[in-house]
Structure 1
Amino acid sequence: MTQVMVTLPSAVQMVLLVAAAFGSAVLSGVAGFGGGVLMVPILVTALGPRNAIVVVTISQLASNGGRAWFNRTEIDRRLVGVCCLGGVPGAVAGSLLVTATPLDTHTRVIGGFLLALVLWRRLRPAAVHVPDPVFVVMNGLSGLGSGLVGSFGPLITPFFLARGLVRGAYIGTDAAAQLMVHITKLVVFGAVALLTVSTGLVGLVLVPPSIAGAWLGKQIVDRMPVGVFVAVVEIALVASGVFLLVHGRS
């Protein structure tokens, strides 16, 4: 298969990308998601849409790896395994479809779904039991969306909160599950020649700031009251939903 060519960013663009990777990793370290969603449009401007998806996957691999490591003592390992049952096959499907599927409708649907989930949590606060099959299905959809548009961590967030995971337990468990998704995507991208030397180099430059941002996010969230944490995550969910609805129409 013919490789997708990419022009390396200028020095100024790389500085901006490094700063964006650090800032988005801090956000992900606090809210558990959002970094990839913010990085995608920035990378699209510098690299084009398909190369951006590859590079953001490398950056998110580092960010999620850092969050999983920094919160390793609080990870629900059984739930990570349950999530991977859906997330890994979903990531394979999404990565294979990325070169042929229009993104706008898919993006709007996910954005609307995020807003609906936040509303559901507000209207039905007692509905906290989320069985394992729901995690399998939702992580499958999240993996599919991640393969198609680079990162879709917000999709599964309300279900972790409904399961009762907060702060380090939620962030570490979600990060470990997403880590497997991003590894799967990179394997597929390599197989279909989307992962090139150029995209790999750009992605590797973003690894150190992504890990540093994940560390800083961990320091912040450890000092944050549980009620404030849940409020921050839900505000970030609403912001992500609105962004995706608007982005899907652009």
Structure 2
Amino acid sequence: MISDPFFYVVAVPAVILYGLSKGGFGGVAILSMPLLSLAISPIQAAAIMLPVLMVQDVVTVWSYRRTWDRATLIHLAPGALVGILAGYLFAAQVSEPAVRIIVGVIAVAFCLDRWLRPHPAGGARPQNWLSGTLLGTLSGYTSFVIHVGGPPFNMYALARGLPRDVFVGTAGLFFAAVNLVKVAPFVALGQLTPGNLATAATLFPLAVLANMGGIWLVRRMPTGLFYRIIYILTFVVGCVLLAGGVRAVL
């Protein structure tokens, strides 16, 4: 178990950001891993955060248990499983900067298309196996490799025109399943050690409180404002990923 006080100095805001993200503000948690990496290695940080995220998943899934979209999950799930498997098998062969650049470009292009190109009223796109599989794969892969699976999920789910609570509930179920599947690869990699699990357990109370706070805020926010924030967060996350990837390459 980690006893270094500095770890908890950076872990507290990181867990709060994860809680807000799980509560519905997908994207704000992009700062969590860099914060934790100031105190410990990124691999250990990911291992400690996985149980924390799973606890938050329980809160989100229970809170939105009646509002989720089955068709969206069905279209994303197969690709997500492929992405997680690819992350486990081939992460060492694909550079992290390359992954960041790819996801960043797609996320930024998606938001710019939405903002700059006219869309017909009520122009929600129908479910699509091709885009669902591609974006599901990208979400599963990036969730495993760089712990940022939100932008690809947002790109698919936002285009489906889901009501606010259905969008959040669907995201909650999707990432709960993704995190559950990630347990076996993390065990195989030897990262879920007793020390890491004990450290994660000390963060559980804060994780639950932060998650409940995010849910409380989302449910009191007008739907239009919520979706504007989600699009902005998706765009900002895309820019951060793109800039970080380009900087690492250069």
TM-score by length of 1: 0.87
Q: Which runs of 5+ in 1 are unaligned?
A: 1-6
Counterpart-to-counterpart distance in 1, 2:46 and 2:149: 12
Counterpart-to-counterpart distance in 1, 2:56 and 2:183: 15
User: How do 1:46-195 residues align onto structure 2 when only pairs under 5 Å count?
Assistant: 46-122=39-115, 123-126=117-120, 128-133=124-129, 134-195=131-192
Deviations 1:77-120 (A, max 9, x none): 34323322211221122133345542112112211211011012
Q: Could you tell me which amino acid in structure 1 is paired with residue 34 of structure 2?
A: P
Counterpart-to-counterpart distance in 2, 1:234 and 1:102: 27
Is the partner of 1:45 in helix, strand or coil? coil
Counterpart-to-counterpart distance in 2, 1:197 and 1:100: 29
Partner of 1:3: none
Q: Could you tell me which amino acid in structure 1 is paired with residue 38 of structure 2?
A: T
Identity %: 24
| Count of residue pairs brought into register by the alignment | 243
1:16 corresponds to 2:13: no
User: How do 1:218-229 residues align onto structure 2 when only pairs under 5 Å count?
Assistant: 218-229=215-226
Partner of 2:25: 31
Deviations 1:224-243 (A, max 9, x none): 11110111011111110111
Instruction: Give yes or no for contact 1:28–1:34 (8 Å, CA) kept in 2.
Output: no
Instruction: Give yes or no for contact 1:43–1:56 (8 Å, CA) kept in 2.
Output: no
Deviations 1:26-77 (A, max 9, x none): 2442323432x22111122222122222223333223333222211111123
Deviations 1:3-24 (A, max 9, x none): xxxx835124224312320233
Partner of 1:240: 237
Counterpart-to-counterpart distance in 2, 1:17 and 1:99: 27
Counterpart-to-counterpart distance in 1, 2:205 and 2:76: 27
Instruction: Give yes or no for contact 1:65–1:176 (8 Å, CA) kept in 2.
Output: no
Is the partner of 1:151 in helix, strand or coil? coil
Instruction: Give yes or no for contact 1:109–1:245 (8 Å, CA) kept in 2.
Output: yes
Q: Could you tell me which amino acid in structure 2 is paired with residue 131 of structure 1?
A: Q
Deviations 1:184-240 (A, max 9, x none): 112111022132222222233333322222211111111111110111011111110
Q: Name the stretch that deviates more: 163-172 or 87-96.
A: 87-96
Is the partner of 1:32 in helix, strand or coil? coil
Counterpart-to-counterpart distance in 1, 2:132 and 2:42: 29
Residues 88 and 103 (structure 1 numbering): CA distance in 2 closer, same or farther, change over 3 Å?
Answer: same
Kindly state the Cα deviation for residue 149 of structure 1 after the two structures are TM-superposed.
0.9
Q: Could you tell me which amino acid in structure 2 is paired with residue 191 of structure 1?
A: A
Deviations 1:157-201 (A, max 9, x none): 022111111321101101101111111112111022132222222
Residues 9 and 95 (structure 1 numbering): CA distance in 2 closer, same or farther, change over 3 Å?
Answer: farther
Kindly state the Cα deviation for residue 153 of structure 1 after the two structures are TM-superposed.
1.2
C-alpha root-mean-square deviation of aligned residues, in Å? 2.1
Q: Could you tell me which amino acid in structure 1 is paired with residue 10 of structure 2?
A: L
Q: Could you tell me which amino acid in structure 1 is paired with residue 63 of structure 2?
A: F
Counterpart-to-counterpart distance in 2, 1:205 and 1:89: 32
Q: Could you tell me which amino acid in structure 1 is paired with residue 244 of structure 2?
A: H
Is the partner of 1:74 in helix, strand or coil? coil
Counterpart-to-counterpart distance in 1, 2:243 and 2:187: 31
TM-score by length of 2: 0.87
Counterpart-to-counterpart distance in 2, 1:244 and 1:94: 18
